[in-house]
């Protein structure tokens, strides 16, 4: 699933799309809520800081029967000059709670961020679904 | 050839009323009977007559600009009339396309005897077709504007519904929130809850979020702000209806709700305020 994020309503669209995928996977309520808030946070970051970008949701299936969801949030916005700061709880440049990125990192099983000031940001996360 | 065009133009003007009637009685096969009656009504026929007159004039006028202006004016009003009569946009456009052929109906004799040069017929089309396209475009715009208006109205009606403040007794009200919260809605909740608290003299407000699908950091932040604002005005605010999976996510996000008066459910909050069933 690929959702272009250009407006606030696209965040809701991403969430609705994500919810349907997770339901199809028969993911539990807690896993669903976690992935959905991650979608919400990542999509909101795109909308808030870059204006537009794109969020991709992929379903991963390993031969052993392990299943997971990979989210990729990519934008060509201003980038983050201090990535470590952005991952610190309570740090925000937008007057928010500063809990978004650290929260996502905390809730997901794998987290990767790649940001170049002036070029854009790419966040990839993975959550195994039990 | 110019003369021929003028002849055709004048004949169209002369028979404009009859052509207009033809459209009504044409029983456009796809249109329902009832809509066909609308097209045959006097006001429609009378109004349609004008456009055939304009078509006629277009074939020999020197002032095309002025004519196009009149066509635009006609299309705008035609769309209003069509909207008023309950015709859909596809019905209207279908009727408009029918004009293309209707125009030739007063020339059955000439056409049968092949009196017109092919080039003349082509010239007529070259003049009238762009006008028809123009009418379609202008009418679509009117319909689009109309629909946007309708949608905006529906949206504001929905907005009003989206923050129901339900007074349960003197000084106590419940605000059940159902559906996603975005920035605009959060602002509305803030505004309405503060206004209603003042108007209804509320001392206790229960904000129930059991119908909110997800609470991310933005929504949490908005809830904090709403509750702080309520507290500032002397209203004690309770937050209820946080589902187990949402609670886990909030903890996962590391958002601190400890300064918020949360209760597991509405019943707990109500009984704390002093509600109980009298046997």
Asked if B150 and B14 sit in the same domain, the reply is yes
Q: A39-72, pLDDT tens digit by residue? A: 999 999 999 888 889 999 999 988 888 899 999 9
Q: Is B279 a member of any domain? A: no
Query: What is the pLDDT averaged over residues B208-219?
Result: 88
Asked if A54 is an interface residue toward chain B (Cβ–Cβ < 8 A), one would say no
- Same structural domain for residues B151 and B173? no
Give a yes or no: residue B278 inside a domain. no
DSSP B105: G
Residues B18 and B155 in one domain: yes
Residue B153, in any domain of the structure: yes
For residue B181, what is the nearest residue in chain A, using CA coordinates? A12
Q: Is residue B260 included in any domain, yes or no?
A: yes
**Does residue B103 sit in the same domain as residue B174?**
no
B171 shares a domain with B145:
no
Q: How far is A54 from chain B (nearest CA, A)?
A: 19
How many Å lie between the alpha carbon of A27 and the closest alpha carbon of chain B? 12
* Pairwise CA distance, residues B142 & B92, whole Å: 12
Contact between chains at A30 and B182 (C-beta distance less than 8 A): no
Q: Are residues B153 and B179 in the same domain?
A: no
Residues B171 and B34 in one domain: no
- Whole-model pTM: value is 0.60
Same domain for B84 and B14: yes
**Is A1 part of the contact surface with chain B (CB cutoff 8 Å)?**
no
How big is the CA angle at B221 (ends B220 and B225), to the nearest 5 degrees?
A: 115
Same domain (yes/no): B130, B223: no
How far does Cα B230 stand from its chain's mean position? 36
> What token pair was written down for B271?
């009984």
Instruction: For residues B68 and B138, give the distance between their C-alpha atoms in angstroms, rounded to a whole number.
Output: 11
Q: Structural domain of residue B268, as residue ranges? A: 166-273
| pLDDT, tens only, B21-61 | 887 665 555 556 566 667 777 778 888 889 989 999 998 88
Residues B9 and B146 grouped into a single domain: yes
Last residue of one domain, picked from the residues B131, B159, B187: B159
Structural domains counted in chain B: 2
CB under 8 Å to B47, separation ≥6 — which residues?
Answer: B77, B78, B81
Whole-Å CA distances, A58 to A62, A96, A124, A130: 13, 28, 11, 16
The CATH number given to whatever domain includes residue B37 is 1.10.490.10
Whether B186 has its CB under 8 Å from any CB of chain A: the answer is no
Whole-Å CA distances, B230 to B194, B222, B224: 6, 12, 10
| DSSP notation for B39-90 | HHSHHHHHHHHHHHHHHHHHTT-S-HHHHHHHHHHHHHHHHHHHHHTT--HH
Distance from CA of A66 to the nearest CA of B (A): 22
We report the CATH number of the domain holding residue B245 as: 3.30.750.24
pLDDT of B71 over the 60 cut: yes
Domain end call among B126, B159, B192: B159
Phi (first) and psi of residue A68, to 5 degrees: -155, 175
Residues B199 and B222 reside in one and the same domain: yes
Chain A residues lying within 8 Å of B181, measured CB to CB: none
Could you tell me the domains of chain A?
A: 2-129 (3.30.565.10)
ipTM for the whole complex: 0.78
- pLDDT tier for residue A82 given thresholds of 50, 70 and 90: confident
Would B202 be classed as within a structural domain?
A: yes
Question: How far A69 CA sits from the closest chain B CA (Å)?
Answer: 17
Enumerate residues 4 to 43 of chain A having a beta carbon within 8 A of any beta carbon in chain B: 8-9, 11-12, 15, 19, 29-30, 32-34, 36-37, 40-41
B118 with B255, same domain: the answer is no
């Amino acid at each position: 699933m690929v959702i272009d994020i250009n407006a606030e309503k696209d965040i809701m669209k991403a969430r609705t799309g994500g919810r349907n995928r997770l339901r199809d996977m028969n993911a539990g309520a807690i896993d669903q809520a976690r992935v959905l808030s991650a979608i919400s946070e990542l999509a909101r970051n795109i909308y808030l800081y870059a204006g537009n970008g794109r969020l991709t949701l992929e379903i991963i299936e390993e031969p052993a029967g392990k299943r997971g969801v990979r989210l990729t949030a990519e934008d060509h916005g201003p980038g983050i000059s201090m990535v470590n700061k952005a991952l610190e709880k309570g740090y925000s440049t937008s007057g928010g709670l500063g809990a978004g990125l650290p929260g996502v990192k905390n809730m997901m099983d794998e987290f990767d961020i790649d940001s170049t000031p002036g070029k854009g940001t790419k966040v990839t996360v993975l959550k195994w679904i039990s | 050839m110019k003369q021929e065009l003028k002849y055709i133009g004048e004949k169209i003007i002369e028979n404009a009323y009859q052509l207009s009637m033809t459209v009504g009685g044409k029983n456009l096969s796809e249109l329902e009977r009832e809509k066909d009656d609308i097209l045959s009504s006097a006001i429609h026929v009378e109004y349609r007559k004008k456009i055939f007159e304009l078509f006629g004039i277009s074939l020999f006028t020197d002032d095309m600009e002025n004519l196009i202006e009149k066509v635009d004016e006609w299309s705008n009003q035609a769309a209003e009339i069509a909207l008023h009569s309950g015709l859909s946009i596809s019905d209207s456009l279908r009727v408009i396309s029918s004009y293309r052929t209707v125009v030739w109906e007063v020339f059955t004799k000439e056409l049968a005897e092949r009196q017109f040069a092919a080039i003349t017929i082509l010239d007529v089309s070259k003049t009238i077709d762009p006008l028809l396209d123009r009418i379609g475009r202008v009418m679509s715009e009117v319909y689009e504007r109309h629909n946007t208006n309708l949608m905006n109205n529906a949206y504001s009606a929905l907005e009003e519904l989206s923050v129901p403040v339900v007074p349960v007794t003197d000084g106590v009200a419940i605000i059940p929130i159902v559906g996603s919260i975005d920035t605009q809605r959060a602002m509305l909740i803030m505004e309405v809850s503060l206004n209603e608290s003042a108007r209804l003299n509320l001392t206790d407000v229960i904000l129930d979020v059991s119908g909110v699908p997800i609470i991310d950091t933005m929504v949490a932040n908005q809830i904090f702000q709403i509750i702080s604002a309520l507290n500032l005005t002397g209203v004690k605010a309770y937050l209820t209806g946080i589902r187990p999976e949402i609670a886990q996510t909030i903890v996962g996000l590391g958002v601190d709700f400890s300064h918020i008066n949360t209760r597991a459910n509405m019943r707990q909050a109500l009984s704390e305020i002093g509600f109980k069933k009298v046997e």
